[in-house]
Amino acid sequence: MNAHIEVKHLLPAWESFRAATDIEPIRDEAHYRRMVSMLEVLLDEAADDESHAAMGLVDIVGDLIEDYETERHPLPPATSLQALKLLMEQHGLKQSDLPEIGSQGVVSEILTGKRELNVRQVRALANRFAVSPATFI
């Protein structure tokens, strides 16, 4: 990265980007819902490709959502695995009730921490439980 950044050239590009995307620290619940929708669209675009160019925006938007949720909707600290286990418990689900994640073997590996959730699985779980995909990122 260029150590010398011409701010006068950067700011117009930033303003155009921000105006087109509304990507900035989340201000209120309406903005939060727009950012959650944007995250879902970005995850759809990236599909299962962790090297997709959209993944940089997934990280940024996910961080903005996480910051807002931490400030406005604080939850006890939990990993994505803990969140999944809690949601399964709340909904009375077993491993076999999560075919959208994969085979029972895949679900077992995720629940034991041997495997991490991928983008497709995160999207499917967010849809199933009606939570932000950031819950599982």
2, pLDDT greater than 60: no
1, pLDDT greater than 80: no
Give the number of domains in the chain: 2
Residues 51 and 105 in one domain: no
Q: Which domain holds residue 24?
A: 7-72
68-127 pLDDT, tens digit each: 988 887 767 778 899 999 999 999 999 999 999 999 999 999 999 999 999 999 999 999
Q: What long-range pairs does 98-104 form, CB within 8 A, spacing at least 24?
A: 98/125, 100/124, 100/125, 100/128, 101/125
85 within a domain of the structure (yes/no): yes
Domain end: 48, 72, 96, which one?
72
8-46 pLDDT, tens digit each: 888 999 999 999 999 999 999 999 999 999 999 999 998
Q: Which amino acid is at 46?
A: A
Residues 12 and 66 in one domain: yes
Domain end: 72, 105, 123, which one?
72
51-60 pLDDT, tens digit each: 999 999 999 9
Please report, for the domain that includes residue 120, its CATH number.
1.10.260.40
What is the DSSP code string of the chain?
--SS--HHHHHHHHHHHHHHH--SS--SHHHHHHHHHHHHHHHHHHTT-TTSTHHHHHHHHHHHHHHHHHHHS------HHHHHHHHHHHTT--GGG-TTT-SHHHHHHHHTTSS---HHHHHHHHHHHT--GGGG-
1 within a domain of the structure (yes/no): no
115 within a domain of the structure (yes/no): yes
Q: Which amino acid is at 77?
A: P
Mean pLDDT, the chain, as a whole number?
A: 90
68 within a domain of the structure (yes/no): yes
User: What is the token pair recorded at 27?
Assistant: 């201000």
